[in-house]
Homo-oligomer: A and B are copies of this chain.
Amino acid sequence: MNDDFTIGLDLGGTQVRAALVRAGKVLARTAARTDLSGPDEVMRQFGALVAEVSQVAGSAPVRAIGMCTPGPLDTVSGVIDHIPTLPGWEQFPLRDRLSEIFGLPAIVENDGIAAAFGEWQYGAARGLDHMVYVTVSTGIGGGVVVDGRLMHGARGMGGHLGHFTLVAEGPVCSCGRVGCFEAVAAGTAFGKRVRAAASGNPASYLGKMAEHETIEGRHAVEGARAGDAACLALVAEEADWLGSGFASLLHLYSPQMIVMGGGVSVAFDLLEPGIRARIRRDAMAPFREVPVVPARLGDDAGLVGVADLAIIRQR
Distance of A177 from chain B, by nearest CB (Å): 5
Residue-by-residue, is A233-253 near B (CB-CB < 8 Å gives 1, otherwise 0)? Answer: 000000000001001110111
In A164-179, which residues have CB < 8 Å from any B CB? 164-168, 170, 175-177
Distance, CA A163 to CA B279, complexed state (A): 13
Distance, CA A254 to CA B244, complexed state (A): 22
Nearest chain B residue, comparing its CB with the CB of A176? B284
Nearest chain B residue, comparing its CB with the CB of A249? B164
Q: Which of B149, B177, B281, B287 contacts A157 (CB 8 A)?
A: B287
A106 at the interface (CB under 8 A from B): no
- Cross-chain contact B167 with A164 (CB below 8 angstroms): no
Which one of A163, A168, A251 has the greatest number of beta carbons of chain B within 10 Å?
A251
Distance of A70 from chain B, by nearest CB (Å): 12
- Cross-chain contact A154 with B256 (CB below 8 angstroms): yes
Q: A165-B244, A284-B72, A285-B72 are in contact. Are A158 and B177 (CB under 8 A)?
A: no
Chain A, interface size category, equals: 35 or more
Distance, CA A72 to CA B250, complexed state (A): 12
A155 at the interface (CB under 8 A from B): yes
Distance, CA A104 to CA B262, complexed state (A): 50
A78 at the interface (CB under 8 A from B): no
A58 at the interface (CB under 8 A from B): no
- Cross-chain contact A252 with B146 (CB below 8 angstroms): no
A282 at the interface (CB under 8 A from B): yes
A129 at the interface (CB under 8 A from B): yes
Q: What residues of chain B lie closer than 8 Å to A146, measured between beta carbons?
A: 146, 151-153, 158
What are 27 inter-chain pairs, A to B, with CB distance below 8 A? A72-B285, A72-B286, A81-B286, A82-B285, A129-B154, A130-B158, A146-B151, A146-B153, A147-B152, A151-B151, A152-B254, A153-B254, A154-B254, A157-B286, A157-B287, A160-B252, A160-B284, A163-B248, A163-B251, A163-B252, A164-B248, A165-B166, A165-B248, A165-B282, A166-B168, A167-B168, A175-B284
